[in-house]
Amino acid sequence: MIMDLLHTLGSFFIVLSVIVFVHEFGHYFIAKLCGVKIEAFSIGFGKEIIGWNDKSGTRWKISLLPLGGYVKMFGDSSEASTADNEAIEKMSELDKKLTFHYKSLPQKMAIVSAGPLANFVLTIAILTYFIMTSGLPSVDPIVGQIMPDSPAQSAGLQPGDRITQINEDKVSSFNDIPYLISTNLGTPVTLYVTRGTEQMTIVLTPKEVEDDDGLGNKIKRPLIGIKSAEIKYEETHLGGALYEAVRRTYIICKTTLKVIGQMIVGDRGVHDLKGPIGIAQLSGQATERDLHTTLWLIAMLSANLGLVNLFPIPLLDGGHLMYYTAEALSGRPLAQRVQEYGFKLGFAILFALMAFTIINDVMKLFQVS
């Protein structure tokens, strides 16, 4: 039991550290290009466990709480990148130019955006690797088989039907179909179908089934009850693999946004929402399975971290971008008090979300209904 716990914690640290490092390195890299002096680059928060200084004076360190990370830039008063105005006022003009807060608005926005963009790049890189090594599935979105007593059978779908669109999304491959119906738990979905020379629209409601997520956990997913022909994989060039990886990353992010929207309006429960404990469990299960599964988990988490960080919540990168957009539109920065209240509100939102997900994880861990 102790060994299992250590394995889970170690896996969680490795998986999260990779994602956080890439995110923070995005900020770091663009900040350095813009001439910002970096004081610290940390994986984790709190007390430093191990660290070293590079030639430029940046302190690279691993800290006690592995729940994120930060890049502390010259002129920051804290890890949240708030300006130390008193210290900056006392600086020479040369030193001020080394601070993040004296950079132009486009440079600030580029530095802030670089973290989430780095996460998307990581996801795209991993998916590109998968596609290059396994090939692209060449299965057209054509129904090969109808499962008995399924929504597809009840709606009148037939073998040979080509599904060209699901709701507002075009369908390029049969593999797109599970992604595009994944948010339709108990809600109707519209299929645009070509049957011979005939174009038709079929509306059906997927059946909710309990399935395995590939790591041994039970999840609910929608099923319409169709199968494809035999899947064949074709080799592809780097450009084709990159295009497909970008397309899949876009679908992942779009699906995540739909799921979050459904949770907010109450159309979907929050039982699938995972916090640190849930992610740690997934990490342990993935590393126990194989490298491919671990990389897949990193790709999914990285895409979601990049997306969530773009939400317009103060303290997140999206919150900073919201402030800078307001500054660009008004021609002057938001009042310091407004920014401070915003950061307090952002902290309250993130703290409440963290507490909720941890409670949710614990309830599932002990199977409390």
Catalytic site positions: 24
Q: Tokens representing 8?
A: 């889970």
Q: How far apart are CA 69 and CA 66, in angstroms?
A: 8
* DSSP string covering 179-210: HHHTT-SSS-EEEEEEETTEEEEEEE-PEEEE
Q: How far apart are CA 321 and CA 110, in angstroms?
A: 9
Q: Which residues pair with 76 in a beta bridge?
A: 83
CA proximity to 29, closest of 39, 20, 38, 18: 38
Q: Tokens representing 104?
A: 């132009």
Chain center to CA of 276: 14
Q: How far apart are CA 251 and CA 123, in angstroms?
A: 12
- HEC letters along 229-277: CCCCEECCCHHHHHHHHHHHHHHHHHHHHHHHHHHHHCCCCCCCCCCHH
Local structure of residue 332 (DSSP, 8 states): S
Q: How far is CA 147 from CA 107, 163, 268, in A?
A: 55, 16, 26
Q: How far apart are CA 177 and CA 139, in angstroms?
A: 12
3-state class (DSSP) for residue 97 = coil
Helices (H), the chain: 2-33, 85-89, 93-96, 105-134, 151-155, 176-181, 238-265, 276-289, 291-309, 317-330, 336-365
Q: How far apart are CA 314 and CA 339, in angstroms?
A: 8
